[in-house]
DNA sequence: GGAATAGTGTCTGTTAGACACTATCTA
DNA sequence: TAGATAGTGTCTAACAGACACTATTCC
């Protein structure tokens, strides 16, 4: 990095805007208006993404990923967490840098480079708060996004989805969508919703127990209609495979 | 991205510097002064990284990753390729975005966010040209870097090495270190140099042929001391697994 | 008991790796 | 022919997935 170009090396800022955008994933029940619940009565979970509706041009009224300018005193990850909180009122269970997008023409107002993070959010009933500059905040099923997204956000979303689907195969992140303790059925439902493939319950149990990522607790789920399942808890881990560098 | 904060949304740049740094990897013969050639006489290949020596403070005389300011009209990848050419005179066979580093204190002169790429360079005898602002450009073995690197470049390098070692296991990038046609011995030597593990020649041949990443040509290597090996050629591919998003 | 889910046992096809063996070149 | 590398055959242990089976709960 860093010498300007051969002359003196004094520091000056650039005529360039640095933003952070966040692709926010969550598992939510399938919209009952779109399709009624299963006969069995259990709730089908579906992968959703949070979008905000822009109140101003460019792309007025279009849906977009939440994001905003990086402040001088905050790290990129802090900025992502702040965008999340300010624009949506949510808190992320997991936050990881995805990619940095910087085509010169991606924002018509001027050169804008965007560091994109993706966030996994627990499916509890957290309330959505529309921040300033937006007319609406809403969850959309990942396979049915509304009309053209603003800027290059469709491309960004596509890449985030690709990476999430890929990563869930080898990294232990699925539990980030769930409450602190969960059943294997719930965890399996997360996999199935994201990969869109059925897993064999028995094989899934062995695989995930052998991975050492989760541990069985003493507790069980009471009051169900059937044999009560054990509750599991995730083993905390922050290895490189799961996130980026230590920084 | 994009609305400033609720008021008008006119575009202004930030008091922030955006740079691109490049971790340049190559396979080069082990320094014969450090250790003489193998009795057999063939050249041991070793993973090297290119560093430049800074001519000015901060970190004057320290070694650093080559890099520099992103220009308003170039994409991030173009910028990385340009840094490579200007600071070192090299051309990359492969270039991929690694991670974006942005801790507020990482450059004492002011807020500097750096998008880091890593490059794989063929081991031909390309000449090194020290660019402006640097007193020296040199290859270093990846496991013997010179004294503390400038800024957070040691951390960046560590992460790049981790990612390269990891990626070579599942993505077909090893041939990027080699000339257009190569023998399986050469390709195997690349793997062994990067992962620091011996591979069984027979198993390696089957594995890499089954992957479909390379194809045997009619040509063979003549003039060696032993049975002449076939030459192979890489199948061109630009899938998502190998690089980032299409952009 | 019936229905439903939790959880176990077991078989099979695929794969990574170890390792012995054959093939082909130069000196 | 000796020596070295190219390349093949084959065995084994590990693993993923299919699937049948047992266990436990509520109704």
Residue A125 near residue A80 (C-beta atoms within 8 A):
no
Q: Which of residues 136-195 of A touch B (CB under 8 A)?
A: 151-152, 155-156, 158-159, 162, 166
3-state SS assignment for residue B10: coil
Q: What pLDDT is attached to residue A223?
A: 74
Q: What pLDDT is attached to residue B100?
A: 98
Strand bridging mode A17-29 / B67-69: unpaired
Binary contact (A100, B158; C-beta < 8 A) = no
Q: What pLDDT is attached to residue B34?
A: 52
Compare all CA atoms of chain A with the CA of B108 and give the residue at the minimum distance: A11
B247 in reach of chain A (CB within 8 A): yes
pLDDT at A168 over 60: yes
Q: What pLDDT is attached to residue A36?
A: 45
Q: What pLDDT is attached to residue A129?
A: 81
Per DSSP, A175 falls in state: G
Which residues of chain A are within 8 Å of residue B244 when distances are taken between CB atoms? 99, 159
| CA dihedral sign of residues B237, B242, B246, B247 | negative
Per DSSP, B14 falls in state: B
pLDDT at A38 over 50: no
Residue B69 near residue A12 (C-beta atoms within 8 A):
no
Q: Whose CA is closest to A161, among A62, A19, A21, A23?
A: A23
Q: What pLDDT is attached to residue A153?
A: 98
Q: What is the pLDDT of residues A156-166, one digit of tens each?
A: 999 999 999 99
Query: Which residue positions in chain B have pLDDT lower than 50?
Result: 1-8, 35-41
Q: What is the pLDDT of residues A180-213, one digit of tens each?
A: 999 999 999 999 999 999 999 999 999 999 999 9
d(CA A201, CA A214): 16
Q: Please measure the distance between the N-terminal and C-terminal CA atoms of chain B and give it in whole angstroms.
A: 18
Question: On chain C, which bases lie within 7 A of the protein's CB atoms?
Answer: 3-10, 16-20, 23-27
Distance (Å) of CA B103 to CA A80, B100, B152, B172: 13, 10, 10, 32
Q: Please measure the distance between the N-terminal and C-terminal CA atoms of chain A and give it in whole angstroms.
A: 18
Q: How far is CA B182 from the centre of its chain?
A: 20
Q: What is the pLDDT of residues B202-213, one digit of tens each?
A: 999 999 999 989
* CA atom of B208 to C1′ atom of C15, Å: 14
Name the nt closest to B227 by C-alpha to C1'. C25
Cut 0.75: pTM above it: yes
d(CA B188, CA A164): 32
Q: What pLDDT is attached to residue B131?
A: 79
Total CB pairs under 8 A between chain A and B: 192
Q: What is the pLDDT of residues B140-176, one digit of tens each?
A: 999 999 989 999 999 999 999 999 999 999 899 999 9
Strand bridging mode A134-141 / A214-220: unpaired
Q: Which of residues 65-124 of A touch B (CB under 8 A)?
A: 65, 67-70, 72-76, 97, 99-104, 107, 109-115
Q: What pLDDT is attached to residue B238?
A: 63
Q: Which of B12, B16, B112 sits opposite A1 (nearest CB)?
A: B112
pLDDT at A27 over 70: yes
Q: What is the pLDDT of residues A103-150, one digit of tens each?
A: 999 999 999 999 999 999 997 777 788 878 899 999 999 999 998 999
Question: On chain D, which bases lie within 7 A of the protein's CB atoms?
Answer: 3-10, 16-20, 23-27
B11 in reach of chain A (CB within 8 A): yes
d(CA B214, CA B235): 5
Which residues of chain B are within 8 Å of residue A113 when distances are taken between CB atoms? 18, 70, 76, 115
Nearest amino-acid residue to C18, taking CA and C1': B200
């Amino acid at each position: 990095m860093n010498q300007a170009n051969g002359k003196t090396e004094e520091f000056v800022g650039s005529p360039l805007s640095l933003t952070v955008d966040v692709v926010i994933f969550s598992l939510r029940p399938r919209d009952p208006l779109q399709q009624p619940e299963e006969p069995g009565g259990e709730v089908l979970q579906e992968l959703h993404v949070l979008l905000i509706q822009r109140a101003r041009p460019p792309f007025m009224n279009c849906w977009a990923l939440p994001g905003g300018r990086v402040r001088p005193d905050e790290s990129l990850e802090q900025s992502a967490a702040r965008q999340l909180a300010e624009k949506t009122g949510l808190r992320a269970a997991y936050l990881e840098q995805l990619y940095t997008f910087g085509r010169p023409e991606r924002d018509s107002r001027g050169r804008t480079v965007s560091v994109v993070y993706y966030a996994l959010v627990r499916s509890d009933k957290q309330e959505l708060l529309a921040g300033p500059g937006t007319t609406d905040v809403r969850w959309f099923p990942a396979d049915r996004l509304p009309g053209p997204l603003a800027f290059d956000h469709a491309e960004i979303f596509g890449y985030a989805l690709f990476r999430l689907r890929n990563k869930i195969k080898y990294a232990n992140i699925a539990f980030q969508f769930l409450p602190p303790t969960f059943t294997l059925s719930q965890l399996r439902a997360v996999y199935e919703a994201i990969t869109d493939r059925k897993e064999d319950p028995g094989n899934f149990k062995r695989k995930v127990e052998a991975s050492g990522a989760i541990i069985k607790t003493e507790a069980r789920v009471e009051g169900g209609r059937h044999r009560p399942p054990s509750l599991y808890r995730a083993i905390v881990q922050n290895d490189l495979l799961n996130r980026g560098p230590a920084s």
